[in-house]
């Protein structure tokens, strides 16, 4: 995803001299092509994320379209006050890019587990929150956010995420993408775990269960219409996210169902419990630990459908 992001950003910068990249002294293998091509629009403030965000806000208020870039929690939680006060309060045109959402950097331990970021960014006024599901969505999201004024958060995976969309997509901020049609159950996924959602849907199809898969790449604003359509057309709904079940995709969908759906539909949130992970391991290992692998998702959906048939 990060390669798709930087490639799209370079293409944007070729045609718009406002596009600027500010990084937290890392990711040089990824960002160096941009730095070499646009040296006057590349800034490295060092390992000082609060300064990075303040600089970005100032540049944005002088007319730039600024992307900040760092890994895990560093461009979000470490500088949350600056994001809230400098960026959001002033509606500054700053796009905060976090590479390594969820357990992408799982082997580095709890400090690098980005598992509360969606909830925290979603709670900030004026903030748009986007978590693309694959590199195709990541490139499209970069272009869409650059064209949209105001603060935004772009949550990426790390590297090597598989391409889910094998053809062109229609990408619009705030509109889910229907990746697979189905009428028995709807699985709404956000971020790089979309691929596991598709594997789970394939495994369910082998059991005769037709699963609708939605890529809810935008958490805020959420596609309320897609959620309510799924509630009226399928037998149950589950959300899937590499994130705490509190405040992220699951919380957002639950709010829609509680406030807008005129009927009760079986619903479950698949994600992390509200906890810190003291163990270190790769992304696959930690996903397995929290039941985020495709077989575990299949079991959760079958159990959900069983309750809906009682």
Asked whether the predicted pLDDT for residue 27 surpasses 90, the reply is: no
Is residue 162 within 8 A of residue 195, CB to CB? The reply is yes
Confidence category of residue 262, pLDDT binned at 50, 70, 90:
confident
219, 254: one domain: yes
Q: Which two tokens stand for residue 72?
A: 């895990």
Average pLDDT over the chain reads 95
Q: What is the CATH number of the domain that holds 227?
A: 3.40.50.920
Q: Which two tokens stand for residue 76?
A: 């979000």
Beta-strand ranges (E) seen in 173-235 are 177-180, 185-189, 211-215, 218-220
Give a yes or no: residue 165 inside a domain. no
Give a yes or no: residue 163 inside a domain. no
Give a yes or no: residue 164 inside a domain. no
State the residue range of the domain holding 200: 177-308
Domain boundary, last residue among 127, 156, 185:
156
Is residue 142 within 8 A of residue 5, CB to CB? The reply is yes
Domain count, the chain: 2
Is residue 2 within 8 A of residue 158, CB to CB? The reply is yes
Is residue 37 within 8 A of residue 65, CB to CB? The reply is no
- CA dist., res. 226 & res. 202, Å (int): 21
- CA dist., res. 105 & res. 165, Å (int): 24
Q: Which two tokens stand for residue 98?
A: 């976090």
104, 184: one domain: no
Q: Which two tokens stand for residue 294?
A: 């495709």
Which percentage of the chain shows pLDDT scores above 90?
A: 91
Lowest-confidence pick of 104-113, 179-188, 194-203: 104-113
Q: Which two tokens stand for residue 103?
A: 């357990």
94, 185: one domain: no
Judge if pTM exceeds 0.75: yes
230, 100: one domain: no
Q: What is the CATH number of the domain that holds 92?
A: 3.40.50.970
What is the pairing mode between strands 211-215 and 177-180? antiparallel
228, 135: one domain: no
């Amino acid at each position: 995803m990060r390669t798709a992001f930087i490639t799209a950003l370079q293409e944007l910068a070729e045609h718009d001299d406002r596009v600027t990249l500010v990084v937290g002294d890392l990711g040089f293998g990824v960002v160096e092509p941009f730095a070499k091509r646009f040296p006057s629009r590349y800034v490295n403030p060092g390992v000082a994320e609060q300064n990075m965000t303040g600089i970005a806000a100032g540049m944005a208020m002088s007319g730039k379209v600024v992307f900040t870039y760092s890994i895990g929690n560093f461009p979000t939680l470490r500088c949350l006050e600056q994001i809230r006060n400098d960026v959001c309060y002033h509606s500054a045109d700053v796009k905060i890019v976090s590479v390594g959402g969820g357990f992408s950097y799982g082997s580095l331990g709890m400090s690098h587990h980005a598992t509360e970021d969606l909830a925290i960014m979603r709670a900030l006024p004026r903030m748009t929150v986007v978590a693309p599901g694959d590199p195709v969505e990541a490139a499209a999201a970069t272009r869409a956010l650059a064209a949209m004024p105001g603060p935004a958060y772009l949550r990426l995976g790390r590297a090597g995420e598989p391409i889910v969309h094998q053809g062109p997509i229609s990408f619009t901020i705030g509109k889910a993408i229907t990746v697979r049609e189905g009428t028995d159950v709807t699985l709404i996924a956000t971020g790089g775990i979309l691929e596991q959602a598709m594997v789970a849907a394939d495994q369910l199809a082998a059991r005769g269960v037709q699963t609708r898969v939605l890529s809810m790449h935008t958490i805020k604003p959420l596609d309320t219409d897609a959620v309510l359509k799924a509630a009226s057309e399928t037998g149950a709904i589950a959300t899937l996210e590499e994130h705490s079940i509190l405040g992220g995709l699951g919380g957002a969908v639950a709010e829609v169902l509680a406030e807008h759906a005129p009927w009760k539909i079986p619903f479950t949130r698949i994600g992390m419990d509200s906890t810190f992970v003291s163990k270190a391991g790769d992304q696959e290992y930690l996903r397995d630990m929290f039941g985020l692998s495709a077989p575990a998702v299949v079991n959760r959906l079958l159990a959900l459908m069983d309750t809906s048939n009682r």
